[in-house]
Amino acid sequence: MEQVYAFYRLKDGADRDAFLTHMERVDAPAMRTQPGVERFNVYLVEDVPLGQFTYDVVEDIVVDRFETWDRICKAPEHQTYVAQWKQFADADSLVFVRTRGAGS
């Protein structure tokens, strides 16, 4: 399994509560049913008590391989979710981080 984090900003003026509701009710449930996805959680950044962090959203994703995630996101049947996400998110700010734990 591979731990992946997605970081991105919301568009100026995007309703944070409406975004979170959409992610909780639509996007996250759909992503969690995809083959190869073990975990998909979405968090709004509330505070950065130390340092600088310019993102509004952190997605916590565990997949069998990053390529699985990439394939899901590019699939034609997934484009409705991408379009809905883009109503809230600044797609140009999206960053994926692939990680490996200590001792892995």
Q: What is the 3-state secondary structure (H, E, C) of 8-32?
A: ECECCCCCHHHHHHHHHHHHHHHHH
pLDDT digits (tens, 9 = 90+) for 65-93: 999 999 999 999 999 999 999 999 999 99
Q: Output the average pLDDT for the chain.
A: 94
Burial class for 20, CB neighbours closer than 10 Å (0-12, 13-18, 19+): middle
CA 78 remoteness from chain centre? 14
Give me the CATH topology for the region 2-99.
Alpha-Beta Plaits (3.30.70)
pLDDT digits (tens, 9 = 90+) for 24-42: 999 999 999 999 999 999 9
First vs last C-alpha separation in the chain: 11
- Residues forming beta bridges with residue 41, ordered by sequence position: 60
